[in-house]
Amino acid sequence: MKYVSTFGLGALTALGMTAMSMLPASAAWEPTKPVEFIVPAGTGGGADQMARTLQGIIAKHNLMSTQLVVINKSGGAGGEGFLDVKSNKGNPHKIVITLSNLFTTPLATGIPFNWKDLTPVAMLALDEFVLWVNAQEPYKTAQEYEAAIKAAPDNTFKMGGTGSKQEDQIITVAVEKALGKKMTYIPYKGGGEVAVQLVGGHINSSVNNPIEAVSQWRGDKLRPLCVFDSKPLPYTDKILGDLSWSSVPTCKSAGLDVEYLMLRGIFMPPGVSEEQVAYFVELFKKVRETPEWKQLMKDGAFNQTFMSGDEFKAWLDQSEATHKGLMQEAGFIAGN
Amino acid sequence: MNMIAENFTLLYHGFGIASDPFNILLMAIGILLGVIIGVLPGLGGANGVAILLPLTFSMSPTSAIILLTCIYWGALFGGAITSVLFNIPGEPWSVATTFDGHPMARSGRAGEALTAAFTSSFVGAFFAIVMITLIAPLVAQFALQFGPAEKFAVYFLAFASFVGMSKEPPAKTVVSMMIGFALAAVGLDMVTGQLRLTFGVTELLNGFDFLIAVIGLFGIGEILLTMEEGLEFRGKAAKIDPKVVWKTWKTLPRYWMTSLRSCIIGCWMGITPAGATPASFMAYGIAKRVSKNGKNFGNGEIEGVVAPETAAHAAGTAAMLPMLALGVPGSPTAAVLLGGLLIWGLQPGPMLFVEQGEFVWGLIASMYLGNIVGLILVLTTVPLFASILRIPFSIIAPVILVICAIGAYTVNNNVFDVLMMMVFGVLGYLLKKTNYPLAPLVLAIVLGDSAEEAFRQSLLGSGGSLSVFWSNGLVSSIMGLGVIAAIWPLIGMALNKLKASPQPA
Amino acid sequence: MEQAHHGAETGPKQRSVEMGTALLTLLFGLIVVYGSVIVGFGWSSDGPQAGFFPFYVGLIICGCSIINFVQGVRENPEPLFAEYGQLRQVLKVLIPACIYVALVPFLGIYLPSVLLIVLFMIWLGHYGWPLSLAVAFGVPAFFYITLERWFLIPLPKGPIEAMLGL
């Protein structure tokens, strides 16, 4: 009997599904089945957190008629996820969130894809990078730390970062070039781990994103020295004593001429229609208006630039060239 | 001492929050969902929590984390069910449970094995929670001592205490373990950012996930072995006795020493962020060496279920502590929970205990209550799950195959993994029939990557000098223990020879 | 099923299977060594290169495989690996399972699952059609509802599901 009832249930669902597929298509394009949201990184990382927050916001505010389903495809530094999107030509029910590995993975590993293989939708935000040291170190400013690095022999100072030949190491190489000294770069799996290693004194400095290390700053375990952006951060909420994100100087003003921002953007598979892209641009515009999103931006001290269309493509073009240049100089380009 | 008294006041307050009827209801729902998640292979704790995370955004942070942690407890409990019944571990830390749990099920003692597993999980978790209550702040400081060299030392210790002399020929044990290391190395090399052993094949980018290998080697391999022995093997084996829980409980106090040892191993491994998997293997390995029934381990010894389950859950629970106090996740599931904390506007880290005391102690109180609720819930299901084994093999076998395929797919959302699972299945059958031990292979896949990574991070830091592994008291003592554990079987053999030699004369 | 228990059955010898397995692991070891050499297996200034560990792991596999092979050769040639009847039993599961797994990439997971369960229950279990069909449709339907609907985990789907608009 048990089997009969499950069978009945199956038949019922099948009927329900057929009924759903017969709904008439409305004028403007809308998703007709759950949209897969590919995260080309592991569970729990920065991109994954952002994707799941987006999923939560969209579900809570009913911004989409169907569901958004987050799927992690992290193999080969995210290459697996990008290849999956690339091969799903014309499928409008798939979007992917990118981080800098959009540029670095094909260059460093030779995995065959390029951002031009995908359809750019929108830039959601840019993630900042901050130079951190342990709060017990004597360096109060970036200048003091730079002077200490310059005074010591090569490879005395250890810089920790996430992954290898990715954004953190690219910044490290740029810092090395600006200072004319080598540092020892130690890769770790995730940003949180890097911050804790810095608290434990196993490395001397890190270039963690604000959200990864802010709690250690509040606890007076880590100290931000400077931010790798062209202007200081706008967020004035107090974090430790009188200090806020806005009191962190830019690295350029501290004599370290390095700028780097990481893309948090959305792409679709190749060959989707303008209408379909427009739907998602609108969707994410609505997301940006929600209080939850604004809170996330503030917590993570994100750079809130939003771009779509040709402006976004131009930015991507330029950013790709920058990455290529930086990685070429660092010798990170795959041989084959 | 003052600090402890203060903690108790806060905890008492926390119980007030956690025992709110709505929160108790959430606990029960969470545990049930967790058990389902744990039973469905591939849909492990991390996935389950990640999927349900968005649903909790509209709750208060305390209720949300109670729901999610209870899902986590439930998944921990549920992982043991498939390990015992079908030899398919749903989570890495359930692997060691299959070694004796499944043989027990095959000899008709599934109910006993499940009861022992659930009870041990509870004991392990409870021990760890008590530890968290008493010494939380101290522990956080200890965890900070762990750099790459210390981590490598811990992995080395876990390995050394598990892999010893086995009844299989040494060359076969070595081949099996090395195959595991080689498979773990496939994919992206984290330290250099290079791809290795992928030979340009896109499907290999992800490497070989541990779960795929285990589902194939253990799950599919088991079906093939059962077929060879003849179809009618199953069915009659499982007798259901509603009193099995009480009967098993009567025998369990005998293993208090094993439990206590495993609790300590588990807590220690959970705090040093090595995690539950090495803890379960290490506890199993040590129990096997120390126990007077050690020779019978692997043939359905209840102590072989108690040791790994206790340690895994002590570790899983203890791992929550570094997460809260430092913001570093002790496991993939903890990583997802960490993301959740951030979304609710709580920042894990040194200030969490100070600024969000109500939340932290509410959570700790919910760990106590959630575990008790969980134990009661899962124990009532023991006869039900044990009776699954009565379903005839020709029905259950294809269903297990389907479940294995779904499990293999959902690990990475990759159909290639389903093919690989089948390859591993055939390999598992072949290796088992030709006397290659599978456990070292699995342990190597799980730990190989992390151990190599920690080793190379240490060398990067030291500029290539191996002396980093003897550079301070902590790392030297762990390495020393590891070396002792590694040569222990040799010492044992020498002692036996000494003892044995006078006898013939 | 019955033939599996006749005592005098013949079958492949344990010895040859042991030797075969050793050759298989040897091949695997060689592949690993080759792969490691491609990415570099030296010890550079900052520690081992990407291929360092896999290279030695591969070498050890090769070495121990040769030992296992030699020990296999020395083994008693008499004992059987398994009787042919037993192997037939194993193949009865293995072949459908392999076909099943091979179909999944093309047809999705649902349809092959239905076919596999029906085949098993009717051919090996000698159950009637009604029960077999009920189980065959019930199990995938259960997974569809729990995984795809409740937990939002998409499983592989093929042309049939696309036709139904799932």
**Domain layout of chain B by residue ranges:** 2-456
Relative to beta strand A158-162, strand B187-189 is: unpaired
Largest CA distance in chain B: 79
Q: How far is CA A188 from CA A78, A203, A208, B56, B456, in A?
A: 16, 11, 12, 30, 11
When scoring B394, B436, B456, B459 by the number of chain C Cβ atoms within 10 A, the one with the most, hence best to mutate, is B394
Is residue B325 within 8 Å of residue B141, measured between CB atoms?
Answer: no
- What SS3 state is found at A164? coil
Residue A157 has pLDDT above 70, yes or no: yes
Instruction: Give the mean pLDDT of chain C.
Output: 86
Same-domain check for residues C23 and C41: yes
Distance from CA of A178 to the nearest CA of B (A): 22
Q: Is there a contact between B352 and A215 (Cβ–Cβ < 8 Å)?
A: yes
Poorest-confidence range of A266-275, B10-19, C49-58? Answer: B10-19
Backbone φ, ψ for residue B31 (5° rounding): -60, -45
- Checking if the pLDDT of B503 tops 70, the result is no
Please indicate if any CB of chain A lies within 8 Å of the CB of C134.
yes
pLDDT at site B382:
80
- Which among B435, B409, B436 has a CA at the least distance from the CA of B422? B409
Q: Is B45 helix (H, G, I), strand (E, B) or coil?
A: helix
The predicted pLDDT at position C4 comes to: 42
Check CB contact under 8 Å for B196 and C51.
yes
A55 and B54 within 8 Å at the Cβ level: the answer is: yes
What's the pLDDT band for C158 if we cut at 50, 70, 90? confident
Round to whole Å and give the CA distance between C54 and C36.
Answer: 6
Amino acid at B18: A
| Average pLDDT over chain A, rounded to an integer | 86
User: pLDDT band at A151, cuts 50/70/90?
Assistant: very high
Say whether both C20 and C50 belong to one domain.
Answer: yes
Q: Are residues C122 and C142 in the same domain?
A: yes
Inside any domain, residue C79: no
Higher local confidence (pLDDT), C149 or A308: A308
Which range is most confident: B105-109, B337-341, C41-45?
Answer: B105-109
Last residue of a domain, one of C17, C52, C74: C74
Measured CA to CA, the distance from residue B503 to residue B493 in angstroms comes to: 16
Does residue A188 sit at the B interface (CB-CB below 8 Å)? yes
Asked if the Cβ–Cβ distance from C152 to A4 is below 8 Å, we say no
| Nearest-neighbour CA in chain B from A311: distance (Å) | 30
Inform me whether the pLDDT recorded for A335 exceeds 90.
no
Q: Do B196 and C154 touch (CB under 8 A)?
A: no
Strand, helix or coil for residue B209: coil
Number of domains in chain C: 2
Q: Is the pLDDT of residue A22 over 80?
A: no
Confidence class of residue B173 from pLDDT cuts 50, 70 and 90? confident
- Hey, what's the torsion of the CAs at B236, B237, B243, B244, to 10 degrees? -170
Say yes or no to pLDDT of A15 above 70: no
Residue with tokens 């598990």: B162
Is 70 exceeded by the pLDDT of residue C90?
Answer: yes
Q: Tell me, what's the pLDDT at C1?
A: 38
> Residue A114 pLDDT more than 80?
yes
3-state secondary structure of B233: helix
Both tokens of B227, joined, read 């077929």
Which of B86, A13, B394, B81 has the alpha carbon at shortest distance from C138?
Answer: A13
Residue C51 half-sphere exposure toward CB, CA atoms < 13 A:
19
Mean pLDDT across A123-151? 94
Would you call B190 an interface residue with chain C, using a CB distance cutoff of 8 Å? no
Handedness of CA B75, B81, B82, B84 (dihedral sign): positive
* Structural element, H or E, at residue B64: helix B61-86
Q: In this predicted model, what pLDDT tens digit does every residue of B421-452 receive, in sequence order? A: 999 999 999 998 888 988 888 888 888 888 88
Same domain (yes/no): C63, C93: no
Domain that holds residue C102: 84-164
Give percent of chain A with pLDDT exceeding 90: 56
What mean pLDDT do residues C145-164 have?
80
> Any bridge partners for residue B301, and if so which?
none
Q: Which residues of C touch B174 (CB under 8 A)?
A: 60, 64
CB-CB neighbours of B441 under 10 Å: 28
Local confidence band at B50 (pLDDT 50, 70, 90 cut-offs): confident
Residues in chain B: 505
Q: Which of B164-168, B393-397, C94-98 has the lowest mean pLDDT?
A: B164-168
CA A59 to chain centre: 21
pLDDT at B351: 74
pLDDT at C27 over 80: yes
- For residue range A257-311, list pLDDT tens digits in order: 999 999 999 999 999 999 999 999 999 999 999 988 998 898 889 999 999 999 9
What is the tens place of the pLDDT at every residue in A184-218? 999 988 787 888 889 989 999 999 999 888 888 98
Q: What integer pLDDT is reported at residue A17 of this predicted model?
A: 42
Contact across the interface for A74 and B349, Cβ inside 8 Å: no
* Per-residue pLDDT band at B326 (split at 50, 70, 90): confident
Domain ranges of chain A: 33-127+262-330, 130-247
Cα separations (Å) of C119 from A5, A11, B269? 21, 20, 47
The pLDDT value recorded for residue B504 is 45
> Residue C130 and residue C144: Cα distance in Å, rounded?
21
Could C100 and B405 be called an inter-chain contact, meaning their C-beta atoms sit closer than 8 Å? yes
Chains that touch C (3 or more CB pairs under 8 A): A, B
- pTM of the predicted model as reported, rounded to 2 decimal places: 0.83
Are residues C90 and C158 both part of a single domain? yes
Q: Which residue has the tokens 């003892």?
A: B499
Interchain contact, B193 vs A109, CB within 8 Å: yes
Query: C39 with C107, same domain?
Result: no
Is there a single domain that holds both residue C68 and residue C88?
no
| Confidence tier at B41 by pLDDT (50, 70, 90) | low
Q: Is the pLDDT of residue A9 over 80?
A: no
Q: Looking at this predicted complex, what is its ipTM?
A: 0.89
Instruction: Indicate if the pLDDT at residue A333 is higher than 70.
Output: yes
Helix residue ranges per DSSP H, chain C = 14-39, 52-74, 84-107, 110-119, 129-143, 159-164
Q: For residue A140, what pLDDT band results from cuts at 50, 70 and 90? A: very high
The CA R_g of chain B, rounded to the nearest whole Å, is 22
Q: Which of A109-118, B62-71, B303-312 has the lowest mean pLDDT?
A: B62-71
B490 contact C CB<8A: no
The reported pLDDT for the residue numbered A26 is 46
Instruction: With residue A53 as reference, give the H or E element that holds it.
Output: helix A46-60
Residues with Cβ within 8 Å of residue A12, at least 6 apart in sequence? none
CB contact under 8 A, B175 and C82: no
- Per-residue model confidence (pLDDT) at position A8: 42
Q: CA A221, CA A135: separation in Å to the nearest integer?
A: 5
List phi, psi (to 5°) of A56: -65, -45
Task: Please provide the size of chain A in residues.
Answer: 336
Mean pLDDT across chain B: 82
B488 vs C26: which has the higher pLDDT: C26
Distances (CA, A) of A139 to A133, A136, A222, A246, B376: 8, 9, 11, 19, 55
Reading the block at residue B216, the tokens are 């194939």
Q: Is the pLDDT of residue A171 over 80?
A: yes
Residues B258-289: pLDDT tens digits?
999 999 999 988 887 777 888 999 999 999 88
Find, in chain A, the residue whose alpha carbon is nearest to that of C132: A3
Point out which residues pair with C108 in neighbouring strands: C157
**Which residues on B lie below 8 Å from C92 (Cβ)?**
227
pLDDT beyond 70 at B228:
yes
Q: How far apart are CA A264 and CA B36, in angstroms?
A: 34
**Which residues of chain B have a CB within 8 Å of the CB of A85?**
none
Q: CATH: 3.40.50.300, 3.30.70.360, 3.40.190.150, 3.40.190.10. Which one for A33-127+262-330?
A: 3.40.190.150
Please determine, for residue B235, whether its predicted confidence score (pLDDT) is greater than 50: no
**What confidence score (pLDDT) does residue B233 get?**
45
Residue B4's pLDDT band (cuts 50, 70, 90): low
Q: Is C108 helix (H, G, I), strand (E, B) or coil?
A: strand
Q: Within 10 A of B195 (CB to CB), how many other CB atoms are there?
A: 29
Nearest to A168 by CA among A156, A192, A193, A185: A185
- Separation between Cα atoms, residue B397 and residue B231, nearest integer Å: 10
Q: Do C122 and C68 fall into the same domain?
A: no
Q: Which residue has the higher pLDDT, C61 or C85?
A: C61
Rounded CA separation A329/A326 (Å): 5
Local confidence band at C5 (pLDDT 50, 70, 90 cut-offs): very low
Burial (CB count <10 Å: 0-12, 13-18, 19+), residue B130: middle
Q: What is the homologous superfamily of the domain A130-247 according to CATH?
A: Periplasmic binding protein-like II (3.40.190.10)
Q: Is the pLDDT of residue B502 over 70?
A: no
Taking residues B401-429, report their average pLDDT: 89
Lowest mean per-residue pLDDT among A225-229, B28-32, B60-64, B404-408? B60-64
B positions 410-449 inside 8 Å of C (CB)? 410, 413, 415, 418-419, 421-422, 425-426, 429-431, 433-434, 436
